[in-house]
Every structure is written in C-alpha cells, then in structure tokens.
Amino acid sequence: MGSILAVENQKRWREVLSRGFEPDHPLEFLSPEGDLEHRLSSRHHDLVILDLQAAPGDPFRFLSRIRTLRPHMPVVVTSETEETEIVVRAIKEGAFDFVGKPYSAAKIRLAVDRALDTKSLRGEIDYLRHEQDVIYDFDRIIAESPNMKAVIRSLKKFAETDATILMTGETGTGKSFLSGSIHFNGHRRHKPFVKINCSNIPETLLE
C-alpha cells in the first residue's frame, strides 16, 4: 500500500483519482501554490502524480525539482496534451510513465501500480546487492596461514582486472566463495554471477 501525492487542481480529476486509489492507497493533493519541498520532507510519499497543467510555472522544471528532492520516488505524469514532444520530454526529465487525459480510474491505477511494483523490485535488488557485498568481502575472510593471506592479497589484485582465473582444490576448500569475492569486488559486480556445475553437464553438450 503506497502513499500518493497528487498535483492536480481540477475537481473532476481529483474525484477520479480518489475513486481509483482510496482506501487502498493513502492519497493527498498538493495545490499549485503548495510548498512541494516542505511536503516531501515532512511526510512520506511513495509516488507523485503530476498533472502538467496543474504544475506552477514551468511544469518540466517542477518535475525536475521533484526528481532532485526524491530521486528514487517514481513520478507518473498526466496531461491534457499528448503531443510526442511533451511525452518524450517528460520521460527524459525522469517521469516513470505518461498518462493522457481523459483517463479512467482503472487506467491511472494500472500506471501507478506498475510504478510502485518497479520501485519495490529495485529496492529488493539494491538490498540483495548490498547483502552480497557484505558476504563477499575480502576483509571478512579469516585467514591464519601466510599462504592463505598471500592468496587473498593476490585475489584482491586479480579482482580489478579482466584476467581469466582458474582455481583448483578439493571440495569444501572455499573455491566458490573466493570466486564470488572476486566477482563482487570487481568492476562486474553489478552484473550476474553465474555458477555452473560442469560435472552435471553431459560431455557432448559441454563441447
């Protein structure tokens, strides 16, 4: 259940938004003369619905201001005009989606739900990446022997390169963990780390 701040001054569209979101999503309206910065800093909102005609002054500058104040909060833009230039500029300025008027409660609800789902998914991805950074941290590896300490020092250097690395050793010696440490401490850390058990792949398929 996400909290929504709507910049909309027409009674008709305020009623449509209320029908579309209440009571599932708490909905508040910001009047054109309202203090956007104070509202965003003093209250929690998960998403903004911005009508370009209701925005004070330059609507795209207003949109940019929202994105500056809350860069991770999605903004769904609405407008009575659906000219290609306006739609493209809104997206370039950081709008998640553009919904032209007239719209139904179901249509605007679909756009908002999609934006909130994407925000939630990105949050989960960022969390998992953070957890991986913590798990695969060279500084968290406990090594007592001089040989193992030397291996870790070498792997730290290799992690910063594009070198192909072959690690061998018996089961349970930490090959998978060390390879993960190399990946998540290198420049490919934001890309997938794929583990493949080659012993389970038929020889003909592997070729």
- Burial (CB < 10 A; 0-12, 13-18, 19+), residue 78, is buried
Dist CA 134 CA 6 (whole Å): 38
pLDDT in tens, 166-192: 888 888 888 888 888 888 888 888 788
| The model's pTM | 0.62
Positions of CATH 3.40.50.2300 in the chain: 4-130
Its CATH class, for the domain covering 4-130, is alpha beta
User: Given a cut of 90, is residue 94 above it in pLDDT?
Assistant: yes
